[in-house]
């Protein structure tokens, strides 16, 4: 695997590359934003997809046992989580899964807790579905984000029905420890709160960190939770749209499957299923090499910031390929920095405030890309910061 090799994604209908100008309203931007990678998927995935394309007939798919087994095998090997294949419910994406679960298991007006700064669609999925957001902001202590358990207990009331956990946490890069999850789960059980555990970044842990699936901790946690997973972040397959929910509790699973039916969400993407099975069956070695490359990229950014831009600080990531960078010490108004990054630096990053109010003054940088691309991005970042400070 040569992750340094550059690939031209322009003209491939990529949101990150071809959609960038439209999204940011600026021309010729250097993209380091939306969460996909600039690497081809593992070769066995490409071959399996080629075989499917060559077959030429793309009718409705049937999900074979081997696809279910690829998931149970992956979760067992990678996360020591033994699941029953009947608990798996397929869906086209984790975002559609969360929205479906909200509809199935809560009522209009119910409160749903999220913990910003967090993946921004969580806000919309609660509010657009006429549920009420209840915020439990993460605390930044000694350079590390923590769950504010005291505040969590304070905001819970009779209307609070659900918590959406992001584990590992996008954008702050935490891989929650078993103790933290245990504490969170205990509070949810005590208060009859269901947990949606979005574990889409589960496979992307750094430097020996271990992801613990929330539902694997105990039968009680499995019973109150729905885990949302997909191979899309892990193997760069987001465009093939295959995700799944793991719902150990029969009653909850029936309700969610019934909601899927109501919304007409039966169909799956034949290419997505093929890619999922090939990735989970043959992609392990590729993933291990990828994570070594991402670890090197983290180091590249960290060293650069320490030597060239000491006033901005990397929040040490434990997982994901998204870096959360603290620019608050620059003392530059965040909108001014945002404008300068786009207009002078021609650099497309995600702005921290889009992940919640307490993300203001931070930027999110996607480093699942070639080192040369990162170096160019860092050069532009330095030019912009030197100029706004100068
Ligand atoms: C935490 C989290 N959940 C969900 C998604 C998107 O999931 P999907 O593309 O399967 O809807 C992302 C993508 O960045 C994410 O970071």
- The pLDDT profile of the chain, 390 residues, written as one tens digit per residue, is 899 999 999 999 999 999 999 999 998 999 999 999 999 999 999 999 999 999 999 999 999 999 999 999 999 999 999 999 999 999 999 999 999 999 999 999 999 999 999 999 999 999 999 999 999 999 999 999 999 999 999 999 999 999 999 999 999 999 999 999 999 999 999 999 999 999 999 999 999 999 999 999 999 999 999 999 999 999 999 999 999 999 999 999 999 999 999 999 988 899 999 999 999 999 999 999 999 999 999 999 999 999 999 999 999 999 999 999 999 999 999 999 999 999 999 999 999 999 999 999 999 999 999 999 999 999 999 999 999 987
Query: What is the arrangement of strands in the sheet containing 313-315, beginning at the earlier edge strand?
Result: 313-315, 322-326, 362-366, 350-351
How many angstroms is it from 2 CA to the middle of ligand 1? 26
How many angstroms is it from 331 CA to the middle of ligand 1? 32
Assigned token pair, 369 = 């890309």
Helix locations, the chain, DSSP H: 15-18, 20-24, 43-55, 65-79, 94-105, 121-127, 149-155, 178-190, 219-223, 232-235, 250-262, 270-282, 284-308, 334-343, 371-389
Q: Do domains 15-42+285-389 and 57-283 have the same CATH topology?
A: no
CA distance 110 to 127: 10
Ligand 1 atom nearest to 320, measured from its CA? 16
How many angstroms is it from 230 CA to the middle of ligand 1? 9
Ligand 1 atom nearest to 238, measured from its CA? 9
Classify domain 57-283 at the CATH class level.
alpha beta
Ligand 1 pocket residues where CB is under 6 Å: 35, 93-95, 119, 166, 170, 198, 200, 230, 232, 238, 243
Assigned token pair, 15 = 């949101």
> Alpha-carbon dihedral of residues 202, 208, 214, 216, nearest 10 degrees?
110
Write the burial class of residue 42 (CB in 10 Å: 0-12 exposed, 13-18 middle, 19+ buried).
buried
Q: Whose Cα sits closest to atom 9 in ligand 1?
A: 93
CA distance 4 to 281: 25
Angle at 91 (CA atoms; ends 72, 174), nearest 5 degrees? 70
How many angstroms is it from 120 CA to the middle of ligand 1? 10
CA distance 86 to 83: 8
How many angstroms is it from 132 CA to the middle of ligand 1? 21
Q: Whose Cα sits closest to atom 7 in ligand 1?
A: 94
Q: Which fold has domain 15-42+285-389?
A: 3.90.1150
Residue 267: the pLDDT is 80
> Which of 36, 200, 321 is the pocket-test mutation for ligand 1 (most atoms within 8 Å of CB)?
200
Q: Reduce the DSSP state of residue 211 to 3 states and report it.
A: coil
CB 351 within 8 A of CB 334: yes
How many angstroms is it from 241 CA to the middle of ligand 1? 11
CA distance 157 to 370: 47
> Which of 34, 93, 94 is the pocket-test mutation for ligand 1 (most atoms within 8 Å of CB)?
94
CA distance 143 to 163: 25
How many angstroms is it from 155 CA to the middle of ligand 1? 26
> Which of 117, 170, 241 is the pocket-test mutation for ligand 1 (most atoms within 8 Å of CB)?
170
Residue 185: the pLDDT is 98
Assigned token pair, 280 = 């989970």
Computed from CA positions of residues 23, 26, 28, 34, in that sequence, does the dihedral angle turn out positive or negative? negative
Q: Could you state, in order of their start, the residue ranges of all structural domains in the chain?
A: 15-42+285-389, 57-283
């Amino acid at each position: 695997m040569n992750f340094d090799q550059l690939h031209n994604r322009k003209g491939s209908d990529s949101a990150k590359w071809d959609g960038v100008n439209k999204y940011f309203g600026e021309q010729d931007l250097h993209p380091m934003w939306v969460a996909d990678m600039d690497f081809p998927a593992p070769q066995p995935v490409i071959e399996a997809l080629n075989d499917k394309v060559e077959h030429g007939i793309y009718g409705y798919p049937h999900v074979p046992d081997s696809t279910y087994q690829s998931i149970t095998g992956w979760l067992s090997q990678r996360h020591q989580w033994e699941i029953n294949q009947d608990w798996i419910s397929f869906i086209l994406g984790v975002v559609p899964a969360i929205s479906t679960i909200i509809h199935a298991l809560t009522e209009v007006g119910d409160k749903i807790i999220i913990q910003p700064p967090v993946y921004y669609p969580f806000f919309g999925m609660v509010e657009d579905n006429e549920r009420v957001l209840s915020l439990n902001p993460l605390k930044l202590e000694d350079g590390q984000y923590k769950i504010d358990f005291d505040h969590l207990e304070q905001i819970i009331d009779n209307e609070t029905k659900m918590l959406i956990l992001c584990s590992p946490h996008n954008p702050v890069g935490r891989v929650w420890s078993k103790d933290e999850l245990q504490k969170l789960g205990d509070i949810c059980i005590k208060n009859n709160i269901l947990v949606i555990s979005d574990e889409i970044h589960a496979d992307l842990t750094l430097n020996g960190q271990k992801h613990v699936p929330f539902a694997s901790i105990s039968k009680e946690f499995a019973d109150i939770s729905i885990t949302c997973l997909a191979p899309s972040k892990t193997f760069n397959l987001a465009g093939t749209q295959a995700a799944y929910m793991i719902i150990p509790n029969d009653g909850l699973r029936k309700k969610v499957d019934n909601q899927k039916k109501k919304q007409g969400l039966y169909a799956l993407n034949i290419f997505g299923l093929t890619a999922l099975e090939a990735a989970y069956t043959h992609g392990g070695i590729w993933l291990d090499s990828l994570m070594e490359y991402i670890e090197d990229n983290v180091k590249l950014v960290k060293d650069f910031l320490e030597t060239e831009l000491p006033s901005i600080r990397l929040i040490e990531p434990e997982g994901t390929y998204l870096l959360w960078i603290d620019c608050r010490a620059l003392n530059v108004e965040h909108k001014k920095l945002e404008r300068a990054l786009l207009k002078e630096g021609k650099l497309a990053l995600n702005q921290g405030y889009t992940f919640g109010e307490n993300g203001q003054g931070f930027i999110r940088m996607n480093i699942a890309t070639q080192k040369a691309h990162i170096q160019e991005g860092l050069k532009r970042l330095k030019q912009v910061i030197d100029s706004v400070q100068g």
